[in-house]
Amino acid sequence: MRLLRYVSPLALLALAGCFGGDDTDIKPTPISVATPDSFLTYPNRQAALAAGEYRIVVATDVPGQSGSYQLTITRDDGSTEQIAGNWTSSGGPSATAAGNPDHVLVLARAGGIRIELSSAVNGLLYLLRDGMVVEEDTSSGAGGSALINKPLSLVSSAAYGNAYYAAVDPTNERTTLDDWKQKNGFAAGHDTHVVFRDAFDLGYGRDMYARRNTDGRIAIFVGNYVVRVVPGSSTNYGPINVEAAIAQDKRYFIGTNAIEFSPANQDGPNPNGSIMITKFFTFDASGKRIASADLDGRGVKHMPGMCWACHGGQPLPLEPDGSFSAQSLRSAKLNLLDVPLLEYSAQHGFRRSELEAGLKRLNQYVAESYSVMGARDISNTDINAGQWNSAFAEDLAAERYPGGSSTHDDTAVPPGWQEKTGRPAGVSNLFKKVIEPHCIACHSLQGTTVGEGIEVSSGSVNVSLANAINFSSYEKFISFRPRIIDYVYRRGIMPMSLRNFERFWREPDQGPALLAAYLHEPTLFDAAGKVIPPGYPVAKPGTDRRVKTQLVGGQPVVQLDGTASLFAASQEWAIVSAPAGAALSNPLVLRPRLTAPTDGNYVLSLTVRNERGSDTRQITLTVDSTLAKSPDQLTFEDDVLPLLETYGSSTCISCHSAGGAAGAYQGIPMTWTRDAGLYKRVRERIDLIEPENSRLLIKPTSLNHGGGKLIDVTVPADKAAYDTIVSWIRAGAVCGSDASIGC
């Protein structure tokens, strides 16, 4: 499962980018399973449901009823299944009553599902995992019928995009581009106008206008132009697009992006109060506001994620009432224009030298917004959100116009990337050749101020790694070495936009090889010394861990899961060594069951293959019958929350609570306060596709955590705690039954 849609294991379909409407008029171009394709999306797309087996219970609102019903089940790939059933004497509104029939539902991969009940009888739906209710509904469907609708992604869906617009435009004053312009004062003109090709991001010709209003609001809109030369081809995003933008040739006009930096509550009540936030709007070619678009031919994405992917936004799932997260709303930022990375026309009036003044003014407006955001007093808000440290982004803006220069300094290198004792030779070159053109625009907008006063030793340099995600120094950047290897060279999801990714890999012996040399990872190179691009299969069977078997059909089994594997066209599990009686239910699927009749170490291998080759990785599962619970029995309520609150000498709650040390870190992003939102806040920080990639696990096991490393997996007791959390996530991250913590 890749992108925010179903992907065939054999091929993907690429369509030329468009801004809504019907994009099927472009002839599909096959894309190999070995081709990276997930762009402008987040590494953790917040799948709604974990892979595995569920039960659908069909109930009625009154016990003892009879009648027939039909279930329509729609999967992420659009396929549907019809199931007919009936009640003879229903058990009423209960997930466990004997009179209520149930049906098995198997999700091969983490994602979503739509289950609609049709019946003349008032019916209810329950979705259960390991006997515990994970979702229920009475009347959300058409005509008041029961409907369970869990999206493939909790942060990219039509509902998500619509909720975002309801938050940033609650009175619907910006439903068209003309209305947006009127709202932001463009009837009085604009301050600056520049035209260029966005050569490093989307490849569009961009016709950009900006103005700053007297009340401090900043508004920018940009018309986008694409001359489609060959359907599905990257040639569509070439230099001719800037000429179409200059001519404002409507044949190639695909839509408009608009951004405003304005008070959060300027149109009515808003949970953010009156702070300034950055708001994003997308309009199609007719000027109608749209909530989704296919920007790059790699599938439809939804607002605001398709913009926030490069603008520092932190998408969190919707609130239980369907409203947009207030914490998320404040997270996005404007983005500096990196002048030398843009492409300009040779036409008089549109050369770079003639646009420098306009580009500088745009960057000044962006820098002003950083200053405002950095000074926001979060103590007066009712949300828990780490305040963004704007210092590095502001410094970048200033360094590029030294001494108030009228032209952009293309040679500027931040102090954190300049040559100095303790740093490897050539870090400035690494910055100019890789970090600046491919990373820094987005990463400088990331991170919080929390824990920045805690320093650790990195070589001969002391550095704070709590905000390392902003890449403001070589030391911060390299502290993410394992994830850089994974995201850039294994997954191929960084750089995050397709055109930037293509630029980065156009000459593998240049930027990719230079970066790889600093990562000190020999497996990034082949036998000939050439850097290996992403697209080769990567087996991901999960981490070594201690587990207890569960009984399935009377057999003691452990559920295996290799669905996090990358670029796998086929797969095969094998038992390398194990106690007698070990067996696999089906070695050729990603989620077989391992029969494990006795305690001991079970060493297994997972091999995945595609047209480029194969990859084999091993995992050791230590079956231990003395453990209190098997993974399917673990709940957040009984097993995970107690760990977070009581484990070790410095627990999560010691900082992540209103009465804890978090008071010193004003606005820590996550609290363990026991309220009805607790489970949701934890759930937002786990990855059901690849549990080990969950922030809930990465943070306390890393020096990038503002509170220091709390779980050291080389320590047996710490590893046991880690294993419990991993097993819980792998079993679906079930909450439990305590409504007071959101179950």
Taking domain 545-623, whether its CATH number is 2.60.40.10 is answered by yes
Q: What is the pLDDT of residue 181?
A: 98
For residue 553, the tally of other CB atoms under 10 A from its CB is: 6
Q: How confident is the model at residue 665 (pLDDT cuts 50, 70, 90)?
A: very low
67 pairs with which residues across the strands? 87
How many angstroms separate the CA atoms of 529 and 508, rounded?
11
Maximum Cα interatomic distance, the chain, rounded to a whole number of Å: 83
Residue 662 has pLDDT above 60, yes or no: no
Q: How confident is the model at residue 286 (pLDDT cuts 50, 70, 90)?
A: very high
Smallest CA-to-CA distance from 691 within 539, 564, 573 is with: 564
How many angstroms separate the CA atoms of 481 and 488, rounded?
10
Instruction: Output the CA torsion 149→150→151→157 (10° steps).
Output: 60
pLDDT tens, residue by residue, 439-478: 999 999 998 877 777 777 666 667 888 889 999 999 999 9
Residue 644 has pLDDT above 90, yes or no: no
Instruction: Output the CA torsion 340→194→211→251 (10° steps).
Output: -130
Question: Is 545-623 the same fold as 52-150?
Answer: yes
pLDDT tens, residue by residue, 352-373: 999 999 999 999 999 999 999 9
Q: What is the pLDDT of residue 31?
A: 80
Q: What are phi and psi of 55, to 5 degrees?
A: -125, 135
For residue 379, the tally of other CB atoms under 10 A from its CB is: 8
How many angstroms separate the CA atoms of 56 and 72, rounded?
12
Q: How confident is the model at residue 90 (pLDDT cuts 50, 70, 90)?
A: very high
Alpha helices in 248-379 (DSSP H): 305-308, 326-329, 352-374
Share of the chain above pLDDT 90, in %: 76
Domain spans, the chain: 52-150, 158-376, 391-524, 545-623, 634-741
* DSSP symbol at 341: G
- Give 420 or 605, the one with higher predicted confidence: 605
- Give 699 or 103, the one with higher predicted confidence: 103
Alpha helices in 230-330 (DSSP H): 240-247, 305-308, 326-329
Is residue 252 within 8 A of residue 224, CB to CB? The reply is no
Q: What are phi and psi of 137, to 5 degrees?
A: -155, 150
pLDDT tens, residue by residue, 20-57: 443 333 344 568 899 999 899 999 999 999 999 999 99
pLDDT tens, residue by residue, 493-541: 999 999 999 999 999 999 999 999 999 999 999 999 999 999 999 999 9
Q: State the pTM of this model.
A: 0.92
By DSSP bridging, strand 545-547 and strand 613-623 are: parallel
What mean pLDDT do residues 686-709 have? 90
Smallest CA-to-CA distance from 708 within 666, 663, 649, 642 is with: 649
Alpha helices in 251-400 (DSSP H): 305-308, 326-329, 352-374, 391-399
Burial track 243-260 (b if 16+ CB lie within 10 A, e otherwise): bbbbeeeeebbbbbbbbb
Could you please state the CATH topology (level 3) that the domain comprising 52-150 is classified under.
Answer: Immunoglobulin-like (2.60.40)
How many angstroms separate the CA atoms of 300 and 197, rounded?
22
Q: What is the pLDDT of residue 666?
A: 53
SS3 assignment for 465-508 = CCCHHHCCCHHHHHCCHHHHHHHHHHHCCCCCCHHHHHHHHHCC
* Residue 325 one-letter amino acid: S
For residue 2, the tally of other CB atoms under 10 A from its CB is: 21
> Which residues fall within 8 angstroms of residue 210, CB to CB, at 6 or more apart?
190, 191, 192, 193, 218, 219, 220, 221, 361, 362, 365
Is residue 106 within 8 A of residue 113, CB to CB? The reply is no
How many angstroms separate the CA atoms of 355 and 412, rounded?
20
Torsion sign over Cα 446, 311, 315, 394: positive
Distance of CA 347 to the CA centre of its chain: 40
Q: What is the pLDDT of residue 732?
A: 96
Smallest CA-to-CA distance from 470 within 626, 185, 704, 644 is with: 704
How many angstroms separate the CA atoms of 152 and 1, rounded?
10
pLDDT tens, residue by residue, 129-175: 999 999 999 998 888 899 999 999 999 999 999 999 999 999 999 99
* Residue 180 one-letter amino acid: W
Q: How confident is the model at residue 381 (pLDDT cuts 50, 70, 90)?
A: very low
pLDDT tens, residue by residue, 45-55: 999 999 999 99
**First vs last C-alpha separation in the chain:** 28
Distance of CA 268 to the CA centre of its chain: 30
Burial (CB count within 10 angstroms: exposed 0-12, middle 13-18, buried 19+), residue 116 = buried
Q: How confident is the model at residue 661 (pLDDT cuts 50, 70, 90)?
A: low
Q: How confident is the model at residue 9 (pLDDT cuts 50, 70, 90)?
A: very low
463 pairs with which residues across the strands? 456
Q: Round the average pLDDT of the chain to a whole number and report it.
A: 89
Residue 237 has pLDDT above 80, yes or no: yes
DSSP assignment string, 194-221: EEEE-TTTT--EEEEEEEE-TTS-EEEE
Please state, in angstroms and as integers, the Cα–Cα distance from residue 409 to each residue in 340, 359, 413, following that order. Answer: 9, 12, 10
Burial track 406-436 (b if 16+ CB lie within 10 A, e otherwise): eebeeebbbebbeeeeebeeebbebbeebbb
How many angstroms separate the CA atoms of 496 and 335, rounded?
15
Q: What is the pLDDT of residue 554?
A: 92
Share of the chain above pLDDT 70, in %: 90
Smallest CA-to-CA distance from 184 within 223, 153, 210, 148 is with: 210
DSSP assignment string, 392-421: HHHHHHHHTSGGG-SS--TT---GGGS--T
Q: How confident is the model at residue 271 (pLDDT cuts 50, 70, 90)?
A: low
Please state, in angstroms and as integers, the Cα–Cα distance from residue 333 to each residue in 192, 307, 309, following that order. Answer: 20, 10, 11
- Give 206 or 649, the one with higher predicted confidence: 206
